[in-house]
A and B are shown apart, each in its own frame.
Chain A
Amino acid sequence: MDNAATTALSGEVLNAMMPVMTECFGNASSIHAYGREAAAYVEKARAQVAAAIGAAPSEIVFTGSGTEADNLAIHGYALRNKKRGNHIITTTVEHHAVLHTCEALEKQGYEVTYLPVDEYGLVTKEQVEAAIKENTILVSIMFANNEVGSIMPIEEIGKLCRERKIAFHTDAVQAVCHVPIDVNAMNIDMLSISAHKIHGPKGVGALYVRKGILIEPLIVGGAQEKRKRAGTENVAGIVGLGAAIEIGVREMPNAMAKVKALRDRLIDGILSAIPEVKLNGHRENRLPGNVNVSIRYIEGEAILLMLDINGIAASSGSACTSGSLDPSHVLLSMGIPHEIAHGSLRLSLSDYNTDEDVDYVLSKLPEVVAKLRKMSPLYNG
């Protein structure tokens, strides 16, 4: 129930990776047969990733993670295009891979506008439009939020950015293989992908960079990935990403219909079984597998520990789980008070989850909540 954190590796993906981890160990940069074989694997994966989002293979740069892809897109674009301007527009609910990159750029003299979100965690095209200035060079807005699952109006924002000749990056780590993506129809210039969120391996991601969009490499020391990202390619990981995204997109219509049905049953079940619970995020306009609720009078980490004792893996936006004194920046940005945000619970489903999993959570969660509420001095139920 924590598939937004990571997913199980698909057997089909593992099978695709096995030859590269055993007999085909070549360095994709080598001229000899071993190297050429490895290079062929990498290029096949590049074509698979490109096809999944409607891009050309030459527009895909493999990275070490989704986080690295975000860093490369924003930092790399800002450095390369500084002469054109120094203003970047993003939102307050981005992943820290984007937020911390923007904060680092602010220290280097860039100017960043962090657009506030509404109660569902969404921004509008109009907000972006109003924030555009003469020196705006880049807009970076996530496709779908990792905590509350809200899906941003990417197509509208993409169209606006194209009209205003501003580069548009989207962190699509949570959206790939969950919602249809077409970088051309949506006017996306850069898009971040991570393999382990889509039943692929950890340690590999990709950045789509539209032809004509220039970025500065952040990792130098080799000519790999057309000099956009140096370092010997993680061939097995790249092959895994290619296989995972191809399978994910192929299976998306069926898999996501199934996941969405599980999600809706889980949401309805929780809201009807437990009093004083609120759904965070939009009821319909959310990722097929995302459930995020705030449960009053109790604290998120305690919920997670007790669910874990019952064999259920979940996640929370409470301060105790964020590693800081404040609860989730996403929930706070949505106007949710601290004390309610501390009691948030995220359950994220994948197509590997079953009806039995949902039944099991619905049988255990009310007990866990009742037990913790009984302990809480805030609750007099």
Chain B
Amino acid sequence: MYTEKVMDHFSNPRNMGELDDANGVGMVGNAKCGDIMKIFLKVSDDGIIEDISFKTFGCGAAVATSSMATELIKGKHIEEALKLSNAAVVEALEGLPPAKLHCSVLAEEAVHAAIKDYYERMGMHEKAEEIAENEHFEEHEAPREH
């Protein structure tokens, strides 16, 4: 049911883990629904994503979309990274089963949430507001931390 590309990113996830020196962190989803994605960004002074990582609780598609999303925006400017769409993630993975498309949406949202957090930390509240306005972050329950 999954493409080889999805299985590859699931079995060998890229950029998996945490970044100690992250300056933008976003987490979306909730444990009740079975998907949580957390993205860590290290953005340089000129707005380039120097480093990125993720941690995901979820199914094979959730892991693969997180992995692919980090790979697609690593080294890009954050303004460009903001343009990452879930469709682009799906395309890069050579397709997802229809029931798993929501995972790619979650990956897009996780990237946006991390960039929003970066803007807020930098005091760029207008920019952060813009992201919030451009999307309707779903109401998510606070995930349970271990």
Contacts and interface: CB of A to CB of B under 8 A. Distances in A.
Chains A and B bind each other:
yes
Interface of A: 297-302, 305-306, 309, 318-320, 323, 325, 327, 337-339, 342, 374-381
Looking at B17, B35, B37, B146, the one whose CB has the most chain A CB atoms below 10 A away is B146
25 contacts: A299-B58, A302-B59, A305-B2, A305-B10, A320-B61, A320-B99, A320-B100, A323-B99, A327-B34, A337-B32, A338-B32, A338-B34, A339-B32, A342-B31, A342-B34, A374-B17, A375-B13, A375-B56, A376-B56, A377-B27, A377-B55, A378-B144, A378-B146, A380-B146, A381-B146
Given A305-B10, A320-B59, A376-B57, 8 more contacts: A297-B57, A299-B34, A302-B10, A320-B61, A323-B99, A325-B33, A339-B144, A377-B57
B144 to A, nearest CB: 6
Contacts of B37: 377
Interface string B124-146: 00000000000000000001111
B38 interface: yes
Looking at A327, A376, A377, the one whose CB has the most chain B CB atoms below 10 A away is A377
A298 B57 contact: yes
B69 interface: no
A153 B10 CA distance: 43
Contact of A319 (B17, B33, B57): B33
A378 B58 contact: no
Interface string B14-46: 001100000000010001111111100000000
Contact of A299 (B17, B62, B144): B62
A339 B60 contact: no
Interface of B: 2, 7, 10-11, 13, 16-17, 27, 31-38, 55-63, 99-100, 143-146
Contacts of B99: 320, 323
Nearest to A325: B33
A352 B13 CA distance: 35
A4 B50 CA distance: 49
Contacts of B100: 320
Nearest to A337: B32
Looking at A300, A302, A327, A337, the one whose CB has the most chain B CB atoms below 10 A away is A302
Contacts of A377: 27, 36-38, 55-57, 143
Contact of B11 (A309, A318, A379): A309
A342 B31 CA distance: 8
A326 to B, nearest CB: 9
A302 B16 CA distance: 15
A300 to B, nearest CB: 8
Nearest to B29: A377
A381 B55 CA distance: 14
Give 9 closest A-B pairs by Cβ, nearest first. A339-B31, A301-B59, A377-B55, A320-B59, A377-B38, A342-B34, A338-B32, A376-B57, A305-B60
A302 B145 contact: no
Contacts of B17: 374
Nearest to A276: B146
Nearest to B18: A377
A319 B62 CA distance: 13
